[in-house]
Amino acid sequence: MERRIFEKLLAWKDSEARKPLILDGARQVGKTWALQEFGKRHFRACAYFNCDGNERLKEIFSGGFSKERVMRDLGLISGISLGTDTLIVLDEIQEIPEALTSLKYFCETAREFPLAAAGSLLGLSAHSGTGFPVGKVDVLKMFPMTFSEFVWAFKGNEAFKVLSGEPFESFSTLHTTFKEILRQYYFVGGMPEAVAAFVCGRTPEDIRTIQNAILYSYNKDISKHAAPKDLPRIHQIWDSVPQQLAKENKKFIYGAIRSGARAKEFETAIQWLVDAGLVHKVNRVRKAELPLKFYEDFDAFKLFLLDCGLLSAMTDTPAEKILVGENIFEEYKGAFTEQYVLQQLLPSLEGKPFYYSAEDSKQELDFLLQKGEQIIPIEVKAEENLRAKSLRQFVQDHEGTHGLRLSMSPYRKQDWMDNIPLYLAERAR
């Protein structure tokens, strides 16, 4: 399988200001494979070290940082002569805090050696006071496979190039084809193990077993790494996300967790899941003016999972309803469509996504993006419904904006708005 992260990794490798790299992301999104494959393709050798339960590595990084000693010892245990043409990979680096701290010294005294670290739950380390090397590392975020990467794996490079580069107008004859592939992506999602099983022809039951195993591992991570006092609330938040997305208004409501629930009881739990990369938090903006960050409302937000396939598993949505049912995009619009769109936008966004709702009206937009000096309003429609009252009103009220509507209707350009098919959501900005 191919991943678009390779483009960013190559830019990091060739940068004159290169620092040690941290590849961050939730467990099982493909970080380890990506770094090892990148090392094979672009370096003489790749020296891979797994920090999880590795006492020898812990000894090396616990003995203080000396470039000569550390490089010598790493070379000895890997059996590889480490040089500037060797990629050093430290996997699950969060398991050895001293190794994470050592990235500071690699940056200051051994920057000529290309080093990439991967880890899950690194967002927690950054806030735990364990010596996270702030300012001394380059950071890339890795996500589940996007729809275009799914097409690349399933249908090959030519289909990927069409989806990624052909003009929007040319998709009229391909609309049915990509709509059908999108239906399959809604079920499989972007977790690489599930995608690989699908591409190899495994059954929907096999794929669902893989997804459930991933969810089980996430629950184990929560139990292992969260403070005992926070565990019940973290699990409550995690379990509530699907039903929150199923609501017509997807604003997170604490009362949906249990009657009488209050924000102050669950703020820490939500932040833990965000830091762990298991959920994405999209805050409201009170006012659609630049910079959007100035008008962020921290009390109003939506929570999304990291993957639509995992959402289908968490809700136990029958495979035949997604893969065969005629009305999948309408029946499950509340649960899947915004989740899918956010998942496509995140890997290439420069800033945070927001959503917008006006203080004095029912006008609401699903996503609001900032691109340079431009505000991009996005309305998401699960089916071929072409009504876009909120989007039209927003464009009328905000001179200079041009709306984007994502729906299952074919591409159409108007003077105030472009309608873009959902399967082209990655290109909607």
Percent with pLDDT over 70 in the chain: 95
Please give the helix or strand (H or E) that residue 152 lies within, else none. helix 147-155
HSE, CB side, 13 Å, CA atoms: give it for residue 195: 28
Domain boundaries, the chain: 5-141, 148-427
pLDDT confidence band for 329 (50 / 70 / 90): low
Res. 129: pLDDT tops 70: no
d(CA 414, CA 419): 8
- C-alpha 141: how far from chain center: 8
Residue 185's identity, in one-letter code, is: Y
- 328 has pLDDT over 70: no
User: What are the pLDDT digits (tens) for 273-323?
Assistant: 999 999 999 999 999 999 999 999 999 999 999 999 999 999 998 887 777
Listed range (108-117, 184-193, 350-359) with the worst mean pLDDT:
350-359
- In this predicted structure, the answer to whether residue 205 has a pLDDT above a threshold of 60 is yes
Report the mean per-residue pLDDT for the chain.
92
Q: Is 360 in contact with 330 (CB distance < 8 Å)? A: no
What global pTM score does this model have?
Answer: 0.94
SS3 content of the chain, % helix, strand, coil (to 5): 50, 15, 30
Q: What is the pLDDT of residue 333?
A: 55
Which pLDDT score, from 0 to 100, does residue 44 have?
97
The domain 5-141 is placed in CATH, from the list 3.40.140.10, 3.40.50.300, 3.40.190.10, 3.40.50.620, at 3.40.50.300
176 confidence band (pLDDT: 50, 70, 90): very high
Distance CA 422, CA 405 (A): 9
| Band (335; pLDDT cuts 50, 70, 90) | confident
> In whole angstroms, how far apart are CA 345 and each of 25, 31, 104, 300?
16, 19, 32, 21
Hey, what are 120's tokens? 């899950």
Tens-digit pLDDT profile for residues 354-413: 999 987 777 899 999 999 999 999 999 887 666 778 899 999 999 999 999 999 899 999
pLDDT digits (tens, 9 = 90+) for 222-244: 999 999 999 999 999 999 999 99
Hey, what long-range contacts does 226-235 have (CB within 8 A, 24 or more apart)?
226/272, 230/268, 230/269, 230/272, 233/265, 233/266, 233/268, 233/269, 234/269, 234/272, 234/273
What is 81-113 written as a DSSP string?
A: ---TTEEEEEETGGG-HHHHHHHHHHHHH-TTS
String of DSSP letters for 153-221: HHH-HHHHHHHHHS-GGGGGGTHHHHHHHHHHHHHH-S-HHHHHHHHTT--HHHHHHHHHHHHHHHHHH
pLDDT-based confidence at residue 47 (cuts at 50, 70, 90) = very high
Confidence grade of residue 132 (pLDDT, cut at 50, 70, 90): confident
Q: How far is CA 42 from the centre of its chain?
A: 25
Tell me how many degrees the CA angle 286-290-296 measures, rounded to the nearest 5. 35
